[in-house]
Amino acid sequence: MAITSSKDTAISFGFLSPFLLFFGVFLIFPIFYSFYLSFFGSPTDYSLANLDFVGLANYFRIATDMQFWWSLGVTALYGLMSIPLGISASLALALLLDNKLFGKSFFRSAFFLPNVLDMLVVGVIWTLIYAPKFGALAQITTWLFSDDNFFNTTGLLGSPMTALLAVVIAMVLKGAGFGMVLFLAALQNIPEAVYEAADIDGATEWQKFKHITVPLLRPIITFMVITGVIGSLNAFTEIYAMTSGGPQVVIGGETVGSTSVAGYYLFKQFDAGNYGYAAAISYMLLIITLGITWLQQRFLNREDGKEVRK
């Protein structure tokens, strides 16, 4: 099978063509098409036909658009909260489950289950749990303390200080099972002999965790950081379902949404019919993503000496 003939090539191409067709049309072409669209203005009537050519105006607008830069900041904050919290929660669950246990597969499935459920629905349920006055959290805190507690009057989603954290908590609880399974698989690959050797040398539990477990879990942590970054840039549904970008705060004369992440801001612009501007924003986000990916490739992978996705 080593000799490449034109017939082989034709057959290979035949097998690959349905995939390549959709790949080219819907994944490669849009990268260029988006760039093209970013030079056009926004129709006043939501029509797609009569877009005016505006040159670089959209990009100039981005440079001075406080809302956009704010949303990037919120996205960064979202990532900075959800990635470490997500990794810690998954690792904690994995360490708990990495024992000989009766009913281990039950616990594993139970923690994993929320992962497969629809993000929007989970977001809606959590909104109602957090809701002041009638939410589950408000009811429990009212019973424990009094009517006049924060969860009952404002609710976690009602205050700009806590809204983003509340979204993060809901999403960490939804997603923890995924990381847990990854960590669990890696933990079970660590040979018992390594720990025994450390025991002989008189290592404490903490030392064993820090110097054996964590380094061996590094590829998984790298993977979770990469997917976490992409997840933060993609974050939309959870924000749409839980806060709609709010609650609003006024900073320096500009009203901004305290949970308005970049993905949500992009959707807002798109929804308002600012198609050209939305295309320009997606291009900016694409460039930022590529920059972050490049940084990650350089720093995270050099430390491990191996690629996670390979």
Q: Is 266 a residue that touches another protein (CB under 8 A)? A: yes
Nearer to another protein, 117 or 251 (CB): 117
Q: How far apart are CA 126 and CA 169, in angstroms?
A: 10
Q: Is 76 a residue that touches another protein (CB under 8 A)? A: no
Q: Is 268 a residue that touches another protein (CB under 8 A)? A: no
Q: Is 285 a residue that touches another protein (CB under 8 A)? A: yes
Stretch that binds another protein, among 58-66, 78-86, 150-158, 282-290 (CB under 8 A): 282-290
* Residues numbered 204-263 forming contacts with another protein, rule: CB under 8 A: 219-220, 223, 230, 233-234, 236-237, 240-241, 263
- The first and second tokens of residue 128, run together, are 């109602």
If phi > 0 it is left, if psi is from -120 to 50 it is alpha, else beta; for residue 5 that is: beta
Answer for which of 115, 149, 159, 301 binds another protein (CB under 8 A) is 115
Q: How far apart are CA 76 and CA 203, in angstroms?
A: 38
Q: Which long-range contacts (CB under 8 A, 24 or more apart) does 32-40 make?
A: 34/279, 34/282, 34/283, 34/286, 35/279, 35/283, 37/275, 37/276, 37/279, 38/276, 38/279, 38/280, 38/282, 38/283, 39/276, 40/275, 40/276, 40/279
* Residues numbered 17-56 forming contacts with another protein, rule: CB under 8 A: 18-20, 22-23, 25-31, 33-34, 37, 48
Name the nearest CA neighbour of 39 among 67, 61, 68, 69. 61
Answer for which of 256, 267, 268, 300 binds another protein (CB under 8 A) is 267
Nearer to another protein, 114 or 249 (CB): 114
Nearer to another protein, 52 or 254 (CB): 52
Name the nearest CA neighbour of 37 among 58, 16, 21. 58
- The first and second tokens of residue 256, run together, are 């901004």
Q: Is 165 a residue that touches another protein (CB under 8 A)? A: no
Answer for which of 81, 91, 93, 242 binds another protein (CB under 8 A) is 93
Q: Is 1 a residue that touches another protein (CB under 8 A)? A: yes
Q: How far apart are CA 214 and CA 208, in angstroms?
A: 9
Q: What residues are paired with 256 via a beta bridge?
A: 249
Answer for which of 56, 66, 80, 110 binds another protein (CB under 8 A) is 110
Q: Is 101 a residue that touches another protein (CB under 8 A)? A: yes
The tokens 């009212």 sit on which residue?
A: 142
Q: Is 66 a residue that touches another protein (CB under 8 A)? A: no
